[in-house]
Amino acid sequence: KHPWCSRICCTAAVKNARKILEQKPETQIFVLNKDIRTYGFREKWYNEVRELGAIFLRYSDDKKPEVHKKGEKLFVKTYDEILGDWIEIPADMVVLSTGIVPDEANDELAKKFKVPLNEDGFFLEAHVKLRPVDFATEGVFLAGLAHSPKFIDETIVQAKAAAARAQTIISKPQYRAEPTIAAVNEDICDGCGICEPVCEYSAIEIVAEENEPEKKKAVVNEALCKGCGACIAACPSGAMEQKGFTSEQIYAMIEAALRPEKYEMQTAGAGEEK
């Protein structure tokens, strides 16, 4: 159900086991897992816990551990991959290290702020290297568990980066938008809606006309539009145009580029100045 790694759950199990064994070395601890992933220098904790006596047992998806009660005692039944057999472990306490899942409200927030989600349900940044805390939608930033499972120190670093990016906008007395953006010719637009899903910046919305609700048309949010031209290429009626790059202007550029021009070349002989 959850193909992503939650990052913190394995580390939390190792950290708790380490604290218990440091205070009460006689405690017998079993850590049942499909795979242990302790990121970065936290791998040192895993090695220390094993040296302190914790036992790590792996299980598979088709043979998951079972917890049952016999009288007043708890027992955990699990399949030991090394022994190749089922074993039963008496337990005074069973602790579940839960993973991280995306918030159920992410879908609604994504629609309100017009930002994308990845296939797992977490918010997706504009570019993992070039714009790691930005959305394609201008002025919206992300950090922490909204982006993906991560540790507190990683969240703090990402939050600082998001705050710094926001400061680049709010520190300016005026913010200049992109001038070469899309525009709708309302006389031609029939509100087919093809342009709306094509826009990566969620800058286009199909709305009904006030006087005639049955008629619809596309409206461009000029603050969000980046002038990429995707909607213009997709529009079947030609109602979408880009300011500064209308069809008439493009045709004029092509004609000017193909127009034959005469150039005179002057050559200088040996010893003469050019």
Domain spans of the chain, in order of start:
8-91, 106-170, 182-258
- Condensed to tens digits (0 to 9), the pLDDT of residues 235-255 reads 999 899 888 888 888 888 898
pLDDT number for residue 259: 84
> Does residue 270 carry a pLDDT above 60?
no
Three-state secondary-structure class, residue 255: helix
Percent above pLDDT 90 for the chain: 61
Pairing of strands 182-184, 240-242: antiparallel
Percent above pLDDT 70 for the chain: 95
Residue 206 near residue 193 (C-beta atoms within 8 A): yes
Taking each helix axis from N to C end, the angle separating 43-52 and 8-23, rounded to the nearest 10 degrees, works out to 40
Q: Which of 53, 8, 42 is nearest to 152 (CA)?
A: 8
> Does residue 136 carry a pLDDT above 90?
no
Q: Is the pTM of this model over 0.95?
A: no
The pair of structure tokens assigned to 187 is: 């006389």
Give backbone dihedrals phi and psi of 106, rounded to 5 degrees, phi first. Answer: -60, -40
pLDDT number for residue 272: 56
Task: Please name the CATH architecture into which domain 182-258 falls.
Answer: 2-Layer Sandwich (3.30)
CA dihedral 119, 124, 129, 131 (to 10 degrees): 160
Q: Where are the extended beta strands (E) located within 110-239?
A: 182-184, 204-208, 216-220
H-state helical runs in the chain = 8-23, 43-52, 106-113, 152-170, 195-198, 230-234, 247-258
What's the pLDDT band for 200 if we cut at 50, 70, 90?
A: confident
212 vs 46: which has the higher pLDDT = 46
- Condensed to tens digits (0 to 9), the pLDDT of residues 146-194 reads 999 999 999 999 999 999 999 998 998 887 777 888 999 988 898 999 9
